[in-house]
Amino acid sequence: MKKNGVGMGVYLFTLFVILFLSFARDGSTGGISTTFTEVTVQNLSIGKNYAIGQKVGRQLQVRNSGEDSIELKVEVLVPSKSELKEGYEPIPDASWVELERDYFSVEPSELAVTDVIVTIPSDKKYLGKKYQAYIWSHTVGKGKLPIALGLKSRLLLEISEKERDLSQEFAGRFDFAVFPDEMVLENVKLGKVYDVKKMFGKVLEVENRSHYPHIYEIRSISAKRAGIRVENGYENCPDPDFLTFDNSKFGLKGKKKNKVKMYINFPKKEEYAGKKYVFVVRIRLLEEEFLLNRHLKIYLTTSAEF
């Protein structure tokens, strides 16, 4: 009986894998579906960030076509060589692709919607390259579904063969500044919400230096995602969401400024006591075709008291 039970377990697992792979090909599993099955983005430039929803008008949308609510997780995967479309290479790093949101609670017949952000590093070796990435949308262990459901969406990126002169292209139209570019916050106590302006007298200021109105988005991200090296005894922040803002998206008219208040809230856990962390604040100008980023680095030391 024990041997038969093991054999039955292997059989059921194999059946699940076969069903999962067969469902993923047509953009529907019966419980979730998407029209974002294969999206090609052409004429990308090195050193630029792109919102796919703005660039080609295609946000990632996953519909809950079942009868129960689901918890949905979205992840970026690097494909194996056997999964590649002809003429494409695996994306060098999954961090090139960022999801505006990656976790959803989705009611029946409702959509999970997120924009997909692509960053092409400023390196000439990527000129003329074609890369493939997968975006894997799958249910997780919450809800009433008896099995996990998943879909793989193929994202194809084609980089221009010629480097574009960004300084000439922008010609001052998208110029903006962030003050300061670094902050130091010391002796931050755990389990307490800090208004950074009240406690340390510091705010983030964004200045639109152009004559044109623009929209800006502010978000706390990890140093790794920002491509910023962590040094001098500091380590990457344990959770970017420990840092929040009073205004995370706003418009600015030409030659105007906006001050943004920040809040720090570290949970009262011993593992965070007496540590040195780096938080990165990404300030992003949202343009129709591409995105521009500035960063503020916050060097934070937590109190040793617990």
Q: Residue 54 has what pLDDT? A: 78
Q: Are residues 176 and 136 in the same domain?
A: no
Measured CA to CA, the distance from residue 191 to residue 273 in angstroms comes to: 11
pLDDT digits (tens, 9 = 90+) for 83-125: 999 999 999 999 999 998 899 999 999 999 998 999 998 899 9
- Residue 10 is assigned to a structural domain of this protein: no
Does 116 fall in a domain? yes
Phi, psi (rounded to 5 degrees) for 152: -110, 125
Q: Which of 93, 135, 132, 98 is nearest to 115 (CA)?
A: 98
d(Cα 41, Cα 135) in Å, to the nearest integer?
A: 14
Distance CA 138, CA 148 (A): 7
Domain presence at residue 2? no
Question: What is the total count of domains within the chain?
Answer: 2
Per-residue pLDDT tens digits for 18-72: 334 334 444 655 589 999 999 999 989 998 888 888 788 889 999 998 888 999 9
CA distance 49 to 295: 14
pLDDT digits (tens, 9 = 90+) for 146-202: 567 899 999 999 999 988 765 556 667 888 999 999 999 999 999 999 999 999 999
Q: Are 132 and 157 in contact (CB under 8 A)?
A: yes
Confidence tier at 287 by pLDDT (50, 70, 90): confident
Both 144 and 30 in one domain: the answer is yes
Provide the pLDDT for residue 171. 61
Where in the sequence is the domain holding 106, given as residue range(s)?
21-164
- Which DSSP helix (H) or strand (E) runs through 170? helix 166-170
Whether residues 173 and 272 share a domain: the answer is yes
Instruction: Indicate whether 43 belongs to any domain.
Output: yes
Domain boundary (146, 164, 182) is at 164
- Domain end marker among 133, 164, 195: 164
Is the same domain home to 125 and 104?
A: yes
Q: What are phi and psi of 200, to 5 degrees?
A: -125, -5
The 8-class DSSP code of residue 66 comes to S
Q: What is the CATH number of the domain that holds 267?
A: 2.60.40.10
Confidence of residue 16 (pLDDT cuts 50, 70, 90): very low
Name residue, tokens 């890369």: 131
The answer to whether residues 175 and 291 belong to one domain is yes
Q: Say if residue 26 is in the same domain as residue 148.
A: yes
**Stated pTM of the model:** 0.64
Domain boundary (164, 179, 199) is at 164
Q: Report phi then psi at 56, rounded to 5.
A: -125, 10
As a whole number of Å, the CA-based R_g of the chain is 22
pLDDT of residue 206: 96
pLDDT in tens, 223-261: 877 778 888 899 999 999 999 999 999 999 999 999 999
89: left (phi over 0), alpha (psi -120 to 50) or beta: beta
For a pLDDT cut of 90, what percent of the chain falls above it?
62
The answer to whether position 13 is within a domain reads no
153 and 41 co-located in one domain: yes
Is residue 78 located within the same domain as residue 141? yes
- The three-point CA angle 119-282-220 to 5° equals 115
Same domain, 146 and 183: no
Q: Check whether residue 92 and residue 190 sit in a common domain.
A: no
| Residue whose token pair is 């570019």 | 181
Look at strands 38-44 and 150-159 and give their pairing: parallel
Query: Is pLDDT larger for residue 202 or for residue 12?
Result: 202
Within a domain: 6: no
Alpha-carbon distance of 154 to 134, in angstroms, equals 5
